[in-house]
Amino acid sequence: MVVLFNNKFVKVCSACVLALATFVSVAANASVKVEAEDFTNQKGIKTESSSDTGGGVNIGYIENGDWVEYAIDVPASGSYTLTARVASATDGGRFVVLANDSEKATVKVKSTGNWQAWKTIESTVMLDAGPQTLRFNFKGGSGYLFNMNWFELIAQ
């Protein structure tokens, strides 16, 4: 099969064109959803039953200075919408997002009215492709900050 590439017609195999098109479309719609309790490492947090839609487990008892880490595999380099499912009875909590120790965003978590009143919040992070450690450093005042059920990275 002949295709136009960089203003030149080049001969490539049909299967290769199909494979390339499939890869691009997968990358364009790529997303990675992670349950907050599926961490690889953490400091200071606990897990508990969640009353969010679908039940399951959330992380909680999060205080200033606590952190959690996840092993993720990013399908393609670029901008991702980071959605996080959170609940809190207080204002003032936030988390700093790091990928392989490089700071990517700070996400504020406002009160949702209750420790089990769940809301989805959004932020944007730039990520490199490949397996990496995603880390949330939790920051805020005294007392518990918020709970998290899951988060998702969606290619923009």
Q: Is 78 in the site for Mg ion (CB under 5 A)?
A: no
Only one residue has tokens 């009143």, namely 117
Residue-by-residue DSSP string for 26-44 = HHHT-EEEEETT--SEEES
Q: Which is nearer to Mg ion, 56 or 78 (CB)?
A: 56
Q: Is 149 in the site for Mg ion (CB under 5 A)?
A: yes
- Please give the structure tokens belonging to residue 144: 């518990």
Q: Which is nearer to Mg ion, 48 or 63 (CB)?
A: 48
Q: Which is nearer to Mg ion, 50 or 132 (CB)?
A: 50
Of 134, 38, 149, residue with least CA distance to 80: 134
Query: CA-to-CA distance for 107 and 113, rounded, in angstroms?
Result: 18
Q: Which is nearer to Mg ion, 57 or 76 (CB)?
A: 57
Q: Is 56 in the site for Mg ion (CB under 5 A)?
A: yes
Beta-strand runs (E) in 26-101 = 31-35, 41-43, 46-49, 57-60, 67-74, 78-88, 93-99
138's enclosing H/E stretch is: strand 130-139
Judged by CB under 5 A, which stretch of 2-10, 34-42, 89-97, 116-124 contacts Mg ion? 34-42
Q: Which is nearer to Mg ion, 42 or 149 (CB)?
A: 149
Q: Is 66 in the site for Mg ion (CB under 5 A)?
A: no
| Least Å from the CB of residue 35 to Mg ion | 4
Judged by CB under 5 A, which stretch of 9-17, 88-96, 101-109, 141-149 contacts Mg ion? 141-149
| Least Å from the CB of residue 50 to Mg ion | 6
- Which of 35, 42, 75, 147: binder of Mg ion (CB under 5 A)? 35
Query: CA-to-CA distance for 121 and 4, rounded, in angstroms?
Result: 42
Strand partners, 59: 47, 148
Interacting residues toward Mg ion by CB under 5 A: 35-36, 56-57, 149-150
